[in-house]
Amino acid sequence: MAKQTVLVSGGAGYIGTHTAVELLATGYDVVIIDNLSNSETAAVEGVRRISGVNVPFEQVDTCDEQALRKVFERYGFDSVIHFAAFKAVGESVHEPLKYYRNNLTSFMNICALMHEFGRPNILFSSSATVYGDADTLPVTEQTPRKPATSPYGNTKQMAEDILRDCCAAYDGMYGVALRYFNPIGAHPSALIGELPRGVPQNLVPYITQTAAGIRECLSIFGNDYPTPDGTCLRDYIDIVDLAKAHVATISRMTQGRMKQRYEIFNIGTGRPVSVLELVHGFEKANGLKLNYRIVGRRAGDVPAVWADTRLANEELGWRAERPLEETLRAAWAWEKHLRKIQ
Ligand code: NAD
Ligand code: UD1
C-alpha cells in the first residue's frame, strides 16, 4: 500500500513537532506548515534530525486561504492534524479578536479546503478546558461542556462544533477532536520540546525555568482547594504519549475504523496529580531542590480535572505509558539543552 501523507498545521510547535516525529516513526509521510508565530525553524530541524527524514516544511499562515490552497495543490495528503492556533488563555481575554480570528479563520480554511479537495480526515486539537469546572470527576466525553471562561476556550468549543457540523453535512468528511489534558515533558533526545515565550504561564515550564535559575521562585497558586493537599489536581500527560495518540487516531481514520463520522476522545493519563506532588516529583526525579512559595489562587483555575480515558484506551488502542518521573526528567533535560546547562 502507498504511504499515507499527513498535513500537520502548526507542526513547528510543541505538540506538532512531537507528533510529526511519531508519525514518521510509524511510516507516515508528513508535510509541516507553520507561520512561525510561536515557533522557530530549529524545531523543524529537530524533527528532521530525530527522524532522519528531510520533512517538507512550508512557512504558511493557515488564515491565508490562497497560500493554503497552494499547499493542497502541491501535496496529496488525505489527513490533516490541525494544531495551528494561539493558546495563551490570559492573552485571549485581553485580545479576543486576535484569538477568534486566528483560531477560527484558520480552522474554517482547513475544513473548507479539505471539503473542496475531497480530502477526508480532520483531526482537531481540542482541550480539557471545554469541561470547565466539571460537576463530576473524572470527566468522560459525555460530561457536559461548561460555558467557556475565556475566548481561547470558546474557540475550542466553537471549532469542535464547526467540525461536528461539517462532518454531518459533507459526505466523505471525517473528524476527530482530541481533548488534551495537560501536556508536559519533551522528547527523550532533548532535540525538541516546549518553547514558552516570556514568562511561562504553565506549571512545568515555570518549574524548569526556576530550576535553571531564570525565575527566582515558583509561586504555587493556592493551597486551600478542596483536594487532599489543598493544591489543584490535574492530569499531566507526557508529550510523547500524547503524540502517539495522534498516530493512533490517524490510523483509525485512514483504516476506516471510525464508528461515527465525528468522534471525541479524552487524551490524558486518568490519574490526578496535585501541584505539590508534581513539584516534589520534579525534585526527586532530577535530584534537586526547587525554590517555591504558596500564594493566592489564580483567577479562572478549576480545583480539579482529570480524564476518564477508557474510550481512548478501548477505541484507539492507546494508553499513556511513560512514568511521570521519566517525563519530569525529560522536561529538565530539555530546559538544560535550551540553556546550555551541563
Ligand atoms: P504551539 O504554540 O507550540 O504550537 C502551535 C503552532 O501553530 C506554533 O508553531 C505557531 O507558530 C503555529 N500557528 C499559530 N497560528 C498559526 C497560523 N495562523 N498559521 C500557521 N501556523 C500557526 O502550541 P502547542 O502547545 O503545540 O499547541 C498545539 C495545539 O494544541 C493548539 O491548537 C493548542 O490550542 C492545543 N492545545 C494545547 C495544549 C497545551 O497545553 N500545549 C492543551 C490543549 C490544547
Ligand atoms: C491551562 C489553561 C488551559 C490549557 C492548559 C494547558 C487556564 C485557566 N487554563 O490549564 O486552557 O489547556 O493550561 O496549556 O489557564 N500553577 C501554579 N504556578 C504556576 C503555574 C501553574 O501553581 O506558576 C498551577 C495552576 O494553578 C494549576 C496547575 O499548576 O493548578 C496547572 O497549571 P497550568 O500548567 O497553567 O495548566 P491549567 O491551569 O490546567
Take atom 16 of ligand 1 and give the residue whose Cα is closest: 84
pLDDT in tens, 299-312: 999 999 999 999 99
Residue 182 in contact with ligand 2 by CB distance below 6 A:
yes
220, HSE (Cβ side, Cα atoms, 13 Å): 22
91 lines ligand 2 (CB under 6 A): no
Question: What are 74-86's pLDDT values in tens digits?
Answer: 999 999 999 999 9
What is the per-residue pLDDT across 235-255, written as a single tens digit (0 to 9) for each? Answer: 999 999 999 999 999 999 999
Q: Is the pLDDT of residue 2 over 80?
A: no
Instruction: Quote the ligand 2 centre to 201 CA distance (angstroms).
Output: 7
The percent of residues in the chain predicted with pLDDT above 90, rounded, is 98
Which of 87, 99, 103, 162 has most ligand 1 atoms within 8 Å of CB, for mutation? Answer: 87
- Residue with CA at minimum distance from ligand 2 atom 30: 232
Torsional sign, CA 128, 133, 136, 141: negative
Whole-prediction pTM: 0.98
- Pocket flag, ligand 1, residue 127 (CB < 6 Å): yes
- What would the grid cell of residue 339 be? 540553556
Rounded Cα–Cα distance for residues 303 and 319 (Å): 25
Give the distance (Å) from ligand 2 centre to CA of residue 204: 9
Ligand 2 atom 5: residue of nearest CA:
182
Q: Give the tens place of pLDDT for each residue, 160-205.
A: 999 999 999 999 999 999 999 999 999 999 999 999 989 999 999 9
According to DSSP, the residues that pair with 126 across neighbouring strands are 179
Alpha-carbon distance of 63 to 94, in angstroms, equals: 21
Q: Any idea which residues carry the catalytic annotation? A: 152
Distance 84 CA to ligand 1 centre (A): 5
Protein residue whose Cα sits closest to atom 33 of ligand 1: 87
Residue with the smallest CA separation from ligand 1 atom 13 is 84
**pLDDT on residue 1:** 55
Q: Is the CB of 183 under 6 A from ligand 1?
A: yes
> Mind listing the pLDDT tens digit for each residue in 45-97?
999 999 999 999 999 999 999 999 999 999 999 999 999 999 999 999 999 99
pLDDT of residue 169: 98
Q: What's the gap in Å between 289 CA and the centre of ligand 1?
A: 31
Section 261-282 average pLDDT:
98
Q: Using CA atoms, how far apart are residues 268 and 183, in angstroms rounded to an integer?
A: 8
Give the model's pLDDT for residue 6.
Answer: 98
Q: Model confidence at 342, in pLDDT bands (50, 70, 90)? A: confident
Q: How far is the CA of 113 from the centre of ligand 2 (A)?
A: 34
pLDDT value, residue 3: 83
Q: Residue 300: nearest ligand to its CA?
A: 2
| Nearest-atom index, ligand 1, CA of 202 | 40
Instruction: Name 280's Cβ contacts closer than 8 Å, sequence gap at least 6.
Output: none
Half-sphere exposure of 7 (CA within 13 A, CB side): 31
Phi/psi class of residue 164: alpha, beta or left (left: φ > 0; alpha: ψ in -120 to 50)?
Answer: alpha
What mean pLDDT is predicted for residues 144-159?
Answer: 97
Q: What ligand is nearest to the CA atom of residue 110?
A: 1
**Residues in contact with 169: Cβ distance below 8 Å, sequence separation at least 6, in sequence order:** none
Please provide the average confidence, as pLDDT, over all residues in the chain.
97
